[in-house]
């Protein structure tokens, strides 16, 4: 159900149609899940309230509760022009190298590996 209809084989398309007719809540959930990243990519923060309202009574209500709990940060992530993605990427890279080297060497070797990467 996550793929577009033109990317699904004929037999799978029939199965998806049957599922959609049997469980319409899945269709609503899929549409809400599709709307969320497109709202973030388009940088339109005004749609967040409507999305939360729609999601509160759907299959993804627990996810919507998490969004409500962190609403200021989510709104800032949508409307602000800056991102901390570069910082997060560097931290992830450092943690991966650190885990690979666990118990093998000291900080000098870690520094050499990090600078080489």
Once rounded to an integer, what is the mean pLDDT over residues 69-81? 87
Q: Which tens digits make up the pLDDT trace of 8-54?
A: 777 887 887 888 888 888 888 888 888 888 888 888 778 888 899 99
Q: Is the pLDDT of residue 2 over 70?
A: no
Other CB atoms within 10 Å distance of the CB of residue 93: 12
Q: Which tens digits make up the pLDDT trace of 60-74?
A: 899 999 999 988 888
Residue 103's region, left for phi above 0, alpha for psi from -120 to 50, else beta, is left
| DSSP state letter for 58 | S
Cβ pair 78, 44 in contact under 8 A: yes
Other CB atoms within 10 Å distance of the CB of residue 64: 19
The residue ranges of every structural domain in the chain are 5-79, 85-116
Q: Which tens digits make up the pLDDT trace of 93-117?
A: 888 887 777 767 677 777 777 787 6
Q: What is the pLDDT of residue 69?
A: 92
Q: Is the pLDDT of residue 4 over 70?
A: no
How far is it, in rounded angstroms, from Cα 4 to Cα 94? 37
State the pTM of this model.
Answer: 0.60
């Amino acid at each position: 159900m996550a793929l577009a209809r033109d990317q699904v084989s004929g037999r799978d398309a029939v199965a998806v149609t049957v599922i959609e007719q049997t469980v319409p809540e899945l269709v609503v959930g899929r549409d809400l899940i599709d709307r969320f990243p497109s709202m973030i990519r388009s940088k339109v923060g005004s749609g967040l309230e409507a999305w939360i309202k729609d999601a509160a009574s759907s299959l993804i209500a627990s996810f919507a509760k998490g969004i409500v709990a962190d609403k200021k940060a989510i709104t800032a992530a949508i409307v602000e022009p800056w991102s901390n993605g570069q910082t997060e990427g560097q931290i992830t890279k450092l943690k991966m190298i650190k885990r690979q080297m666990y118990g093998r060497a000291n900080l000098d070797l870690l520094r050499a590996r990090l600078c080489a990467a």
